[in-house]
Structure 1
Amino acid sequence: MFFLPPQQMAAFQKAKFQAWMSLTDKYMDGFQKLTQLNVQTIRTLISENEGVTRPAPENASDVNEWQSKLLTQVPEKAASYSRHFFAIVSATGEQVAREAQSQFASYGGHMNEIFKTAVDHASEASEKAAVALETNLKQATTASVEATANAADSLAKETQSNVSAASNAMKTGGDTAMQSMNKPNQKH
């Protein structure tokens, strides 16, 4: 995990809060418009139906006319209400989508900055690790070369002393053999 500087973290939190508030404002505007539509619809229904509260007509043909007038107005009013409702909902949805897009673009910039910082920190850490590894390898190689050189020197000295000892032994043995060969010749 990487750690962000406090300034970047504060900027990120501020941007996130502003995005939240902006989206909430868009939703609340839509909710307020729907509330106003509902209040207006209720007021219209009340004002139009004040005439309905009058006593029902006594004549049967007047009752049929009265019912047909009420029933023909209901679908028209429901369709009008639905049109207004869906217009408000779609407008709010578009506003929220635009706001979300702009916030995403802004947020994406913040995220790019955060990722760039993280990559820079990771690069610095990997460079430090590479330098430390290289230094350790050089030290190990130097120590290994020195140990090998010391072992080779000691082996060469030991071999030289063994060769000198063998040479001396052969010389001494050869002199002794020569002396023993010469002694019998002198007796005769």
Structure 2
Amino acid sequence: MALTADQILAAQKANLETLFGLTTKAFEGVEKLVELNVTASKAALTEAQSTAQAALSVKDAQELLTLQASLFQPLAEKTAAYSRHLYDIAQGTGAEFSKAFEAKAAEAQQAFVGLVDSASKNAPAGSETAVAVLKSAVAAANNAFESVQKAVKQASDVAEANFNAVSTQAVAAAKTATASRKR
């Protein structure tokens, strides 16, 4: 089965569209990351200013300890929120790349199945067994690929659930530590 010039051009055009689409998605992810960091930096600067002013207005050691203890919980919450936003940006960008990969993989699978079908139709007489074995191997490979995709998706879901649980526990631990220091 020989490819025509039109088929080659169409494939190249599709590949370029995919490349430019993924490049755009990557830049969008970087833009979101920069925006997150600028926002976090502005907030940190504003908080540093108010914290410095509060520290300068402290009258005794007990007030200083109370101020110090009151800073830990918000810091942990903000760190967890920042991590969550960072994870969401990475997850969203990664999902776009995964979608594109899955689409290209599905196209490649279809093209390969078409090639096998075409080859089997043009196979010499008496090669039915070899063609059946080849088709069976292709079907098994496709099933294995789908199983791997499902396993990766499940592992990703478990990792996300674990990340959420750890973030929640970290904020709760900071609240507990702050509450015990205030006493």
**Distance (whole Å) between structure 2 residues aligned to residue 112 and residue 39 of structure 1:** 49
Query: Is the contact made by 1:30 and 1:89 (CA closer than 8 Å) also made in structure 2?
Result: yes
Larger Rg: 1
Cα–Cα, structure 1 residues 112 and 21, in superposed 2: closer, same or farther, change >3 Å? farther
Distance change (3 Å), C-alpha of 1:81 and 1:44: same
Q: What are the ranges of 5 or more consecutive residues in structure 2 without an aligned counterpart?
A: 125-183
Gapped runs of 5+ residues in structure 1?
Answer: 127-188
| Cα displacement string for residues 84-135 of structure 1 (whole angstroms, at most 9, x for unaligned residues) | 111222222222222322343445556666x38x859x95xx8xxxxxxxxx
1:111 to 1:29, Cα distance in 2 relative to 1, 3 A: farther
Superposition RMSD in Å: 3.1
Shift of 1:48: 1.7
Give TM-score scaled by structure 2 length. 0.54
Equivalence for 1:93:
94
Q: Is the 8 A contact 1:34 1:88 kept in 2?
A: yes
Give how far 1:26 is off. 2.2
SS at 1:4 equivalent? coil
Contact 1:15/1:107, CA 8 A, preserved across alignment? no
Seen in structure 2, the aligned counterparts of structure 1 residues 36 and 78 have a Cα distance that, compared at 3 Å, is: same
Match of 2:31 in 1: 32
Partner of 1:20: 19
Provide the C-alpha distance between the structure 2 equivalents of 1:100 and 1:90, rounded to a whole number of angstroms: 15
Query: Following the alignment from structure 1 to structure 2, what is the Cα–Cα distance between the partners of residues 33 and 6?
Result: 40
Change (3 A) 1:36 1:44: same
Instruction: Label 1:109 to 1:119 Cα distance change in 2 as closer, same or farther (>3 A).
Output: same
Q: Note the 1:42-53 alignment, pairs <5 A.
A: 42-53=41-52
- Give the partner amino acid of 1:34: L
Tell me, in whole angstroms, the C-alpha distance in 2 between the residues paired with 1:111 and 1:40.
48
Q: How far is the alpha carbon of 1:37 from its aligned partner?
A: 1.2
Cα distance in structure 2, aligned partners of 1:111 and 1:42: 51
1:52-94 CA distances to partner (integer Å, 9 max, x unpaired)?
2325324112211221122222111111111111122222222
Identity %, equivalent residues:
25
Letter in 2 for 1:80: A
One-letter code aligned to 1:33? K
Aligned to 1:41: 40
Q: Judge conservation of contact 1:22–1:99 (CA < 8 Å) in 2.
A: no
Find the counterpart in structure 2 of residue 159 from structure 1: none
Name the CA shift for 1:108/1:25 in 2 (closer, same or farther; >3 Å): farther
Q: Residue 23 and residue 110 in structure 1: after superposition, are their counterparts in 2 closer, same or farther (change >3 A)?
A: farther
Map 1:163-174 onto structure 2 (within 5 A): none
